Amino acid sequence: MKPLRIDHIGIAVKSIDESLKVYEALGLESTGIEEVAEQKVRVCFLPCGDSEIELLESTDPEGPVAKFIEKRGEGVQHIAIRVPNIEDAIAQMKDKGFRMIDESPRYGAGGARIAFMHPKSTGGVLIELSQRD
């Protein structure tokens, strides 16, 4: 597996509207807001060169992003690595003994196919593998 780039950095925020002020001040522009019901989040992508910032706002106090903010406060929540083939990437990481949260790809914002690795097996970093065609 040869990763292609950092696809995006996911940032847990209480309010996308509030946080946008920071990134817009930096000169980044939102490409719109999308709701991912399965993850109980609204997400906003801001392209930055070859990569993007992803702002994640929970739509439900029981959702994973709400839980994250409760435990650790707002801030960087995950790093997404773009891979050429998501099935391949999952299989290889499992072969190497890493624990996956997602054993098969699921739908991510922007039509990506994604799978999360378990932070307990990656030194505390939530890593998202992401394939976009």
Q: Contact positions toward Zn ion, by CB under 5 A?
A: 10, 54, 80, 128
Q: Write the CA distances from 125 to 17, 45, 76, 117, integer angstroms.
A: 26, 20, 10, 9
Report, in Å, the least distance between residue 113 CB and Zn ion: 12
Report, in Å, the least distance between residue 83 CB and Zn ion: 13
**Separation of alpha carbons 112 and 122, rounded Å:** 22
* Choice between 20 and 109, CB closer to Zn ion: 109
| Strand partners for 44 | 33, 55
Report, in Å, the least distance between residue 80 CB and Zn ion: 5
* Choice between 6 and 95, CB closer to Zn ion: 6
Report, in Å, the least distance between residue 96 CB and Zn ion: 22
**Separation of alpha carbons 40 and 17, rounded Å:** 17
Q: With contact defined as beta carbons under 8 Å apart, do 90 and 105 qualify?
A: yes
* Choice between 54 and 57, CB closer to Zn ion: 54
How many residues are there in the chain?
Answer: 133
* Choice between 81 and 91, CB closer to Zn ion: 81
